[in-house]
Amino acid sequence: MRNWIILFAFAGVLAACQDEAEITPGHSRDQRMNPVFIRNGGEFIARALSVQLKNPDLRHYLKEKILEKFDGDYNFLLALHQKDLINSETAFGDLFRQDFERFSLDEIVKSDPLLQVAMPSLTNLTADNWEPENEIPLVVYRPPDIDLSSTDHLVAFRDGIPELFSLKKESSELVLVISHNERTIVVREGEDPRKELNGLARSECIENVRSEGTFHNLAFFLKESLLQCYYETEPEPPVSEGCERDMYPGMDQVTRAKFTTMNYMREAEHYLDGNPEVYFIVTLASKNPSGFASLRKSFPSNDRSQWKNCGIFSCVPEWHEKNQPVFIWDKEVFGNLVRYDWFEEDFSTGKIDITLGLTSKFENLTVSGNVKITISKKDYFLDQDFVNFCDRANGTGTDYNTGKLYFTINQH
């Protein structure tokens, strides 16, 4: 009943707005932007795209771009592809000109450069099996300031007409989402992108995701590329006795991770937002409390299905396997304990500072300290666990449990 009330209210507002709107010749179904529902550039684009999806050339182009998975997920950045030709005569960005009364796609994306077109993977419907010749997806706008776990609906567009899109159940049809990319950093040309990662990346790891030039003096970088560096020390010579890390010194790696329940996976990342952008922060001790340091490492997936195993009636969490090098553990440098904090990243223009504390023992010394790091305001905290130097580090390694996420560490 509540959903019907919402829908009737929505339809009433829509009808009232259509009565008041100035109808431009040739746009009999209110082809101009309605200010009640179109609150920002991303929603402008969602509505305009839904109108243009009647063009099969566009649908084929969208599938091709989405399947490139430039950042590992099913999406592409609008800023980098406006001039792409969808056929021999028409550029992608030109399709939107007739639908924008006061703005161009270029102007909107210039003010919001991380806007993307994405296609979330549904249980039985994915970008891989999309048949663009016959299937026209629904277009949903995902506002960056909305918590999907605390709202029931978003606004979607079908051929330019708005409708309610339920967040309480998985869509039964393919969906294109206009949203913000969570795996990419944008900075002004010449600026160091490491500043956006709180200095937790080194310049030699920088990779520009745009192959030529920039977009309005902006440069785009993949976070995973920026975070491939690790805190490297020379491994100590092996000894004949002691802990496994003494006898077989090597690089600590996180080899796999798994959500403890499907509820935690859904809370961390709604299916509409695509694949979970999981990352972890490693806190490293020092004999000098002021020398405590942190590493941020990305643990991305290429498909949401890598985190779950679905049967006929339900899904259960699945191990996502990925060898992610972390650091070479010298006990004399870092002590006997390391802290791992896990997060799922969500787009937000706001930032918060958090403090991570650690107490570690050295040969004749116990040191307590902390580090301060900056994360996105909307990042989902998956809690932490501690790794001991003498935990098993070879073979299958050791499994750890934050309460929301399992992860495994061993050496290679």
Kindly write down the DSSP assignment for every residue of 36-69, as one continuous string.
TT--SHHHHHHHHHHHHTT-HHHHHHHHHHHHH-
CA separation for the pair 58, 300 (Å, rounded): 29
Of the pLDDT bands very low, low, confident and very high (cuts 50, 70, 90), residue 235 is low
Q: What are phi and psi of 174, to 5 degrees?
A: -60, 145
Provide the pLDDT for residue 207.
52
Give the H/E segment covering residue 353: strand 351-362
Of the pLDDT bands very low, low, confident and very high (cuts 50, 70, 90), residue 6 is very low
Average pLDDT for 337-348: 95
Ranking 189-193, 245-249, 406-410 by mean pLDDT, the lowest is 189-193
Tokens of residue 130, six digits = 């999309």
Provide the pLDDT for residue 372.
93
Of the pLDDT bands very low, low, confident and very high (cuts 50, 70, 90), residue 68 is very high
Phi-psi region of 330 (alpha: psi -120 to 50; beta: other; left: phi over 0): beta
Average pLDDT for 55-63: 97
Percent of the chain whose predicted confidence (pLDDT) is above 70:
80
Biggest CA–CA distance in the chain, Å, is 85
CA nearest to 201, candidates 321, 330, 298: 298
CA distances (Å), 246 to each of 238, 275, 336, 392, in order?
Answer: 6, 38, 12, 11
Work out the mean pLDDT of the chain and round it to a whole number: 83
Average pLDDT for 160-182: 95
Average pLDDT for 44-51: 93
pLDDT over threshold 80, residue 271: yes
| CB environment 56-81: b (16+ within 10 A), e (fewer) | ebbbebbbebbeeebbbbbbbbbbbb
Neighbours of 395 (CB within 10 A): 9
List, in order, residues 6 or more apart from 69 with CB less than 8 Å away: 75, 302
Provide the pLDDT for residue 30.
44
Neighbours of 41 (CB within 10 A): 21
CA nearest to 221, candidates 310, 86, 114: 114
Amino acid identity at 279 = Y
CA nearest to 135, candidates 114, 116, 158, 117: 158
| Domain edges within the chain | 2-181, 187-223, 230-411
CA separation for the pair 206, 226 (Å, rounded): 5
Residue with tokens 């949203």: 179
Give the H/E segment covering residue 18: helix 2-20
CA nearest to 327, candidates 222, 223, 249, 242: 249
CA separation for the pair 97, 92 (Å, rounded): 10
pLDDT over threshold 70, residue 142: yes
Ranking 17-21, 90-94, 223-227, 302-306 by mean pLDDT, the lowest is 17-21
Phi-psi region of 99 (alpha: psi -120 to 50; beta: other; left: phi over 0): alpha
In sequence order, the β-bridge partners of residue 253 are 325, 410
